[in-house]
Amino acid sequence: MTDLKILAIDTSGKTASVALSDGGLLLWEKTVYTKLTHSQVILPMVTKALEETGLDYPDIDCIAVANGPGSYTGLRIGVGAVKGICLGAPNIKAAGVSTLLSLAYNCIAFEGRIVSVLRARPKMVYAAEFECSGGKITRISEDRVCGEDEFFAGVSYEKGVMLVGDCAEEMKFSRFAEDAGVRTAPLNCILQRASSLCLAVNDHPGIMCAADVLEVSYLQATKAEKDKAHRDN
């Protein structure tokens, strides 16, 4: 565990979430399931986090952000916010964290296989497998966008399985309703939480980088890219 002061921002999905940590101590976290756009709520949440912890940007070592996969617009908002903040505070490092890895950290107390799964489009998912043992998360598969059947055909069920993400409950009831060994993460952990970004950076400080090289990982072409490809053809 490092002694980094980390500000974390997650706008990759249905929640907007901000957290502040200092080494192994979570100082502040707020997660909101909101109908407002992430661009309206995320920076006021960051301001509130700093105010209520008595910290300011010069105190922060790193700003972590979920950089995908997830909502195209949400990812751009989060990464853009981090780049903007770091532009005015160039000594702060940035860290792009896989949304699926961050979701696995939601379940860090679980012993067994963790499957992070987000809806990409009908019958398609963003998904990855992880193993958790003794509070250590190990990646089993790379982040993928693929068909539900294709992904779940390759998942190992020898140990207990925890499903986490915005279609975890859907997958449980449609595929594993009778399998007690496959569970869904609890209500407070099933969607994105910024504190899990802090955990990921503390475990993997090597992912920190300069903000100007921070990129979004969509895993599939954006609508604009698809439209352009269609026009070009």
What does the pLDDT average to over 172-200?
A: 96
* pLDDT tens-digit map of 9-61: 999 999 999 999 999 999 999 999 988 899 999 999 999 999 999 999 999 99
Structure tokens given for 67: 């950089």
Q: Give the span between the Cα atoms of 214 and 9, in whole angstroms.
A: 14
Percentage helix, strand, coil for the chain under 3-state DSSP, each rounded to 5: 35, 30, 35
* pLDDT tens-digit map of 57-67: 999 999 999 99
* pLDDT tens-digit map of 123-143: 999 999 999 999 999 999 999
Contacts of 140 (CB under 8 A, 6+ apart): 113, 128, 129, 130, 131
Determine the residue type at 21.
Answer: S
Q: If we measure between CA atoms, which residue out of 55, 46, 38 comes closest to residue 85?
A: 46
| Class (C level, CATH) for 107-184 | alpha beta
- pLDDT at position 147 is 96
CB of 8 closer than 8 Å to CB of 18: yes
3-state SS class at 19: strand
- Segments making up each domain of the chain, as ranges: 5-99+192-232, 107-184
CB of 61 closer than 8 Å to CB of 92: yes
Which CATH architecture is the domain 5-99+192-232 placed in?
2-Layer Sandwich (3.30)
Burial 58-87 (b: 16+ CB within 10 A, else e): eebbbbbbbbbbbbbebbbbbbebbbebbe
Same fold, 5-99+192-232 and 107-184: yes
The CB density around residue 173, as the number of other CB atoms within 10 Å, is: 10
Q: What is the 3-state secondary structure (H, E, C) of 131-160?
A: EEECCEEEECCCCEEEEHHHHHHCCCCCCC
At residue 226 the predicted structure's pLDDT band, cuts being 50, 70 and 90, is very low
Angstrom distances, CA of residue 88 to CA of 57, 70, 91, 198: 9, 27, 9, 22
Which contiguous run of DSSP H or E holds residue 179? none
CB of 130 closer than 8 Å to CB of 116: yes
Structure tokens given for 142: 């790379």
The torsion defined by the Cα of 202, 207, 208 and 211, in degrees rounded to 10, comes to -140
DSSP 44: H
Q: What's the predicted TM-score (pTM) here?
A: 0.93
